[in-house]
Structure 1
Amino acid sequence: MPLPTTDKLIELALHSDNEDEVFAACLTLINNEQNRNQEFRSSLINKLENLESFNRQKKIIEFTGLDSALNRQDILGKTVTQIELSAKYYKQIADRAKRLKSQPKS
C-alpha cells in the first residue's frame, strides 16, 4: 500500500477528528521532509491561515515545528545565496506560524 501523499497528510492533519491521526500525519510530514526532501511547509501554512480552529492551528504548528526558523535543507554543494534564500524561506514561514499561534480568531 502506498504512503499517503503530502496533500493527503495535510488534509488529515487539518480535518481528522482522531488526535492520533493528526499527530501521525504531522510526524510523517516531518519525516518525509527530512528523508525524501518532500516540502510541505508552504502548503501547510497557507491552509492553516484559512483554518477556523485556533486550537487545531496551534496543535499542528507545535507538532510540525512550523514556528521554528531552523533551515532544514541540506547545505552541501549550495552557494551562499542559495543557503540565504533557504534560510529566508524558513524564517518567513516560522514568522507566519508564530503570528497564527499568538492571535486566536475571534
Structure 2
Amino acid sequence: MEEWNLKKGSIRKIRDIVKNVKSSPQRLDVFKKCGEESNVKYTTSLQLDCPTRWNSTYLMLNTTVGYEKAFDKFEDLDGKVVIDFGEDLPCPDDRSKAGV
C-alpha cells in the first residue's frame, strides 16, 4: 500500500508540472524553446491525462520521458516554477517511482 501511495504522489507531481506547462501559451513556448536548446527530438506533444482513465495516464507518462531534458532546463530557466512547486517539483526519483 505504501508503494502505491509513493507512485500515486509521483504521478501527481508529473501531472501538475505538465498541467503548469500547458496552462499558458507563453509557458508552452518557453518549454518548446527549452526542448530545442536541449536537442530534444521528440515529435509527440505533451499529453495531460484524465485521472480516471489509466491509459491516458500511461500516455502522459510516456510522453514526459522524451522531454526529460527539456523539463530540467525549463525548471532552471523559469524560477517561478521552482517557487510555485517547491517540494512538489518532480525529480528523477519521482519519474522512476511512477514507472517511467
Higher relative contact order (CA 8 A, sep 6+): 2
Which TM-score applies when normalising by structure 2?
A: 0.29
Asked which structure has the greater CA Rg, the reply is: 1
More helix by share: 2
Calculate the TM-score normalised by the size of structure 1.
Answer: 0.29
